[in-house]
Amino acid sequence: MDLLKCSIGLLALTCFLSAPVYSETPVTVTRCIDGDTLQLSNGEKVRLIGVDTPESKNNAKTRRDAKRTGQDIKTITEQGKKAKEFTRQLVESKQVRLELDVRQRDKYGRLLAYVFLEDGTFVNAEILKAGYAQVMTVQPNVKYQILFLDLQGKARIGKKGLWSFESPTNVRA
Let me know if 47 is a catalytic residue: yes
Q: How large is the greatest C-alpha to C-alpha distance in the chain, in angstroms?
A: 67
Task: Judge whether 110 counts as a catalytic residue.
Answer: yes
| Length of the chain in terms of residues written | 173
Write out the E strands in the chain.
Answer: 21-22, 27-34, 37-40, 45-48, 51-52, 95-100, 111-117, 134-135
List all residues 6 or more positions away from 62 whose beta carbon is below 8 Å from its beta carbon: 54, 55, 73, 76, 77, 80
Catalytic one of 55, 97, 105, 126: 55
Q: Can 105 be counted among the known catalytic residues?
A: no
Q: Which of 44, 47, 68, 103 is catalytic?
A: 47
∠ CA 38-39-41, rounded to 5°: 135
CB 155 within 8 A of CB 83: no
In the set 31, 88, 97, 110, the catalytic residue is 110
Q: Which residues are identified as catalytic?
A: 47, 55, 110
